Amino acid sequence: MEGSGGNETNGTNGNGTPATTSASPALISGSGEELFGRAWLDVESEPRVFQEIVCRLGATGINVQEVYGLDDEGTAMLRGQVAGLIFLFNYRAVDGEEKDEAQDCPKHVWFANQTTNNACATVALLNILMNVPDLQVSTNSIDHLRTFKASTMGLTPAERGQELTKNESIRKIHNSSTRGIEALNAALALQNEVDEWKKAKRYRKKTQARSKRTSKGKIKKVEDDAFHYIAYVPIQGEVWRLDGLLRQPVNLGKSSIHCSNITLAYTAQGIFEGDWTALARTNIQQRMSEEHAIDFNVMALCIDEKATILHQLLKNAISIQKIKTHATSTPELTQYWQSNEPKPMQAQELYHTFGITPEQMKNNDRLADCTLALLTPENGLGMLRKLVEEQNELKEKYLEQTINDGPEDVVIGEETEEDSDTDVVNEILQALLDAGVALGETPKK
């Protein structure tokens, strides 16, 4: 399935909100080179393509996977902890204006509007990646993510969208994942917008313009079916829907798991305990019902299994430490420490094998809240034995992952056949644009 953003927002209104005009005068003026140079091409909604964009942006430890079902079984098939979901669907209407009670984007949420056609895939990816705590970045590539995040931290969502539209490096990364035919289609779409804008400017009546200005708040019907991406991401104990076509992000509510009399929503780093995707999946199903969506796709951005195992090991080590401190002393527990039974790993082994430091354990002691909630004077030894068994299993998984670590499926820097085809098409198209052919002009002689 391919996403087509040709009917989505293109620029912003005077108040900084996403607009839905066809083509701005800025795109009309200038040479053919300027026109094509600003194009964002349509990308396929395939995990492989999104993975390539993620890698080219410099993010590591993130795997893009397809979600084969919106039930619990579908998410259980995913490998690694889910950092975000991307929902692609065929929409036929978009809200012209948000509800009056829509709250401004809070400072701890990074959110950008989509202000140009066909950029929805990268907008959705950025709206997730920018909110992943302690995102790992490759040391062998340019840090596009942190650089762009730092330069846009104080901006509004609309201003961030405008900065993204103008960012040549990220646009080239986005376009590098497209096929040659998309380059031609994008150029034709841009030319159609130019023609429509010129025609509208020439023949638009004042009454029509006045009518359009007074239609704010109504539902805008899309002439043709179009595909759109929406991001879902957990941020500090809450699930957010980040739709680039809306001015502000939407808080779907808190996500938590329950253990006895304690509710644990998220760790000190913002990593969720429990399945936060339940709220997101419910919202996706609701949107599908509203749109009568038949064609749709859901992808998950997952923290790789090795990082997930490390998080589980950290939680396990903290839980063992808490039981050693708070468990009621019994003859059985004393006998255990004197026996030859498997014992927990010591701090030195945790550090040298996994890089887990005492400071990390101290800063994340909330990870053991569920364990302490279940601890009773009678079950301390049983819980300790279970945690030690779990620790050994996690150690085995971690070492297996370390041994099996190989090159990424997407090799950045090696030109593929599709890359070569795209480059050739772009060069031909650029020559035509420079000559004025694609603009409907007479070729220069």
Torsions phi, psi of 8, nearest 5?
Answer: -100, -170
Of the listed ranges 111-120, 211-220, 391-400, 406-415, the one predicted with least confidence: 211-220
- 29 pLDDT higher than 60: no
More confident residue, 79 or 263: 79
The dihedral over CA atoms of 181, 168, 297, 22, expressed in degrees to the nearest 10, equals -80
Instruction: Collect all residues with Cβ–Cβ distance below 8 Å to 163 and sequence separation of at least 6.
Output: 148, 151, 152, 155
Instruction: Collect all residues with Cβ–Cβ distance below 8 Å to 292 and sequence separation of at least 6.
Output: none
Residue tagged active-site, from 55, 105, 120, 370: 120
Q: What integer is the mean pLDDT of 14-39?
A: 42
pTM (global) more than 0.75 = no
Torsions phi, psi of 298, nearest 5?
Answer: -130, 130
Structure tokens at 326: 């708070």
Q: Give residue 431's pLDDT.
A: 52
Query: Looking at the DSSP assignment, which residues form a beta bridge with residue 266?
Result: 272
Residue closest to 193 by CA, chosen among 90, 96, 117, 113: 117
Q: Give residue 50's pLDDT.
A: 94
Structure tokens at 341: 């039974």
Q: Give residue 417's pLDDT.
A: 47
Q: 114 burial class (0-12, 13-18, 19+ CB within 10 angstroms)?
A: buried
State the average pLDDT for the chain: 74
Of the listed ranges 147-151, 287-291, 366-370, the one predicted with least confidence: 287-291
Name residue 322's amino acid. K
- Distances, alpha carbon 434 to alpha carbons 24, 168, 442, in Å: 21, 20, 11
Q: Give residue 26's pLDDT.
A: 35
- For the question of residue 144 being annotated catalytic, the response is no
Spell 152-168 as b/e; 16+ CB within 10 A means b.
beeebbbbbbbbbbebe
* pLDDT, tens digit (0-9, with 9 covering 90-100), for 228-260: 899 999 998 899 999 999 999 999 988 654 443
Instruction: Collect all residues with Cβ–Cβ distance below 8 Å to 87 and sequence separation of at least 6.
Output: 229, 230, 231, 232, 284, 287, 296, 297, 298
- Distances, alpha carbon 265 to alpha carbons 67, 200, 235, 287, 360, in Å: 24, 53, 11, 25, 19
User: Three-class SS of residue 165?
Assistant: helix
Q: Give residue 228's pLDDT.
A: 87
Grade residue 352 by pLDDT with cuts at 50, 70 and 90. Answer: very high
More confident residue, 196 or 123: 123
Torsions phi, psi of 42, nearest 5?
Answer: -75, 135
- Measure the CA–CA gap between 188 and 185, rounded to whole angstroms: 5
Instruction: Collect all residues with Cβ–Cβ distance below 8 Å to 431 and sequence separation of at least 6.
Output: none
Q: Give residue 16's pLDDT.
A: 45
Q: Give residue 290's pLDDT.
A: 79
- 212 pLDDT higher than 60: no
Tell me the range of 35-44, 357-366, 379-388 where mean pLDDT is highest. 379-388
Q: Give residue 136's pLDDT.
A: 75
- Measure the CA–CA gap between 241 and 230, rounded to whole angstroms: 7
Q: What integer is the mean pLDDT of 5-31?
A: 40
Of the listed ranges 175-189, 198-212, 245-259, 320-334, the one predicted with least confidence: 198-212
Residue closest to 385 by CA, chosen among 437, 337, 438, 431: 337
* pLDDT, tens digit (0-9, with 9 covering 90-100), for 353-372: 998 999 889 888 888 888 99
- 58 pLDDT higher than 90: no
User: Three-class SS of residue 230?
Assistant: strand
- Measure the CA–CA gap between 381 and 329, rounded to whole angstroms: 9
More confident residue, 5 or 340: 340
- Domain assignments of the chain as residue spans, ordered by start: 25-303+415-435, 308-404
- Measure the CA–CA gap between 236 and 268, rounded to whole angstroms: 9
Residue closest to 369 by CA, chosen among 257, 289, 247, 278: 257
- Measure the CA–CA gap between 186 and 251, rounded to whole angstroms: 34
Residue tagged active-site, from 144, 174, 228, 311: 228
Q: What integer is the mean pLDDT of 63-90?
A: 90
Topology (CATH) of 25-303+415-435: Ubiquitin C-terminal Hydrolase UCH-l3 (3.40.532)
- For the question of residue 120 being annotated catalytic, the response is yes
- Measure the CA–CA gap between 102 and 98, rounded to whole angstroms: 7
* pLDDT, tens digit (0-9, with 9 covering 90-100), for 156-197: 999 999 999 999 899 989 988 765 545 555 555 555 655 665
